[in-house]
Amino acid sequence: MAERIAVIGGGILGLAVARRLGRVVPGSTVTVFEKEHDVAQHQTGRNSGVVHAGLYYKPGSLKATLCRRGVGLLREYCEARGIRYEECGKVVVAVDDSELGRLDDIAQRATANGVPDTRMLDATELRTIEPHARGVAALHSPTTAIVDYPAVARALRADILDAGGAVRTGAEVIGVDDGPAGVRLRLRVRGSAPVAPNGNHHTAAVDGGTVRVVSESVGPFDRLISCAGLHSDEVAALTGEDSSPRIIPFRGDYWLLRPDRRDLVRGLIYPVPDPRYPFLGIHLTKRVDGEILVGPNAVLATAREGYTVGTVDRGDLRQTLSWPGFQKMAKTHWRTGAKEILRTASRRAFVAEARRYVPELRTADVVRGPAGVRAQAVARDGSLVDDFVLAVRGRVVHVRNAPSPGATASLAIAEHIVADAVPERTS
């Protein structure tokens, strides 16, 4: 029997899952619901653009296995769709002897995860790869790459449409009713997004005098997959899922190298990360358009979609501050948090961090760049959830934690989710 499937979220994950479902469930009709006016408006369109090779992740974890599988799938996909994919390579630099032990741990994980061609470099060899980087040693990963993730997302959308599916933008899911006949969704539809003929709709508000906002009910669907990124905990709550883990938004600000200083960086230059955190530290990253990013830091965001310092959403902030997991996390990590706030306020402090491994970098070499917000899941006990987390409950699947390398792993995460959700079609 033909299945009706709904996917929440038009980021790279929702689109990858919808495309995969359309392929393995013949005759299915797949609809993606995205609240923004276009796809890839949040994490997918606001990240470092790196295709991680799988260096850091605990062997056997979902991050390790799906990142490795995802790299191969993404490279093939980009080749097939003519999307630029550049293996510019990456060095992880130990700036002094105190970092050598941790660099060695990363090298061992890389080997255990099957990352090809990694090699330890001494200080002289490092300079042959990245002439302006300085350190006592470095781990080189020549297959780490860069890609245009929004272009990948647009190609995935085209595949979904070609296969007869639909991607409805301007359609926010605000209610989920998982009843005996299937899953019905309540939508808040903005602007010119079409209203389905079977939807119950009424004009609920007039926004700014021009934008029409209507509510609509759609369904029933046989399956629902939620890939709601920064809102994944809120969408999970709509189906009665546990409130743990909660999404705590961490903003990452970037600076851009001035064009005449881009020659300081050939590929990707990373520090040895602090193993207490899932963030990789401020790095220098070449983008496919030739720009060089410096960043991102990791500072608590005062709104889930708060891309500037002044953006505050009182509801989001209240949710963060009242979450017991956040309070415990803040007690343990307040020193690091304070340092990150300083780096946000001061360009000099931000650049000083990157100057540790590229000493020629000056404060005047950078101009303000973009920002992204990470959807980082924090458990009730205050721990930052490291691995990808998927919750499968009958016909509903929630992606509850998909931080970096989530974009790299997206096609593999989609394979994995679909194999769990529709085992009879993929076994």
Ligand X SMILES: Cc1cc2nc3c(=O)[nH]c(=O)nc-3n(C[C@H](O)[C@H](O)[C@H](O)COP(=O)(O)OP(=O)(O)OC[C@H]3O[C@@H](n4cnc5c(N)ncnc54)[C@H](O)[C@@H]3O)c2cc1C
Q: Which positions touch ligand X (CB under 6 A)? A: 8-14, 33-36, 41-44, 46-50, 52, 172-173, 227-231, 235, 252, 296, 372-374, 402-408
Nearer to ligand X, 129 or 402 (CB): 402
CB of 140 or CB of 398, closer to ligand X: 398
CB of 13 to ligand X, least distance (A): 3
Q: How far is the CB of 152 from ligand X (least distance, A)?
A: 10
CB of 46 vs ligand X, minimal distance in Å: 6
The nearer residue to ligand X, 3 or 234, going by C-beta atoms, is: 234
Q: Which is nearer to ligand X, 188 or 347 (CB)?
A: 188
- Residue closer to ligand X (CB basis): 137 or 140: 140
As measured in angstroms, the least distance from the Cβ of 27 to ligand X is 25
Nearer to ligand X, 137 or 226 (CB): 226
Residues 6+ apart with CB under 8 A from 179: 220
Q: Which two tokens stand for residue 66?
A: 């799906």
The residue among 51 and 137 lying less far from ligand X, judged by its C-beta, is 51
Nearest approach, Cβ of 43 to ligand X (angstroms)?
A: 3
> Which CB sits closer to ligand X, 8 or 256?
8
Residue appearing with tokens 């546990």: 242
- Least Å distance, CB 295 to ligand X, is 8
* Token digits of residue 82: 């003519």
Q: Provide the minimum distance between the beta carbon of 130 and ligand X in the complex, in angstroms, as a whole number.
A: 18
**Shortest approach of ligand X to residue 417 CB, angstroms?**
11
Q: What is the 3-state secondary structure (H, E, C) of the chain?
A: CCCEEEEECCCHHHHHHHHHHHHHCCCCEEEEECCCCCCCCCHHHCCCCEECCCCCCCCCCHHHHHHHHHHHHHHHHHHHHCCCEECCCEEEEECCHHHHHHHHHHHHHHHHCCCCCCEEEEHHHHHHHCCCCCCCEEEEECCCEEECHHHHHHHHHHHHHHCCCEEECCEEEEEEEEECCEEEEEEEEECCCCCCCCCCCEEEEEECCCEEEEEEEEEEECEEEECCHHHHHHHHHHCCCCCCCEEEEEEEEEEEECHHHHHHCCCEEEECCCCCCCCCCCEEEECCCCCEEEECCCEECCCCCCCCCCCCCHHHHHHHHHCHHHHHHHHHHHHHHHHHHHHHHCHHHHHHHHHCCCCCCCHHHEEEEEEEEEEEEECCCCCECCCCEEEEECCEEEEEECCCCCCCCHHHHHHHHHHHHCHHHHC
Nearer to ligand X, 31 or 137 (CB): 31
Question: What is the closest distance, in whole angstroms, from the C-beta atom of residue 178 to ligand X in the complex?
Answer: 15
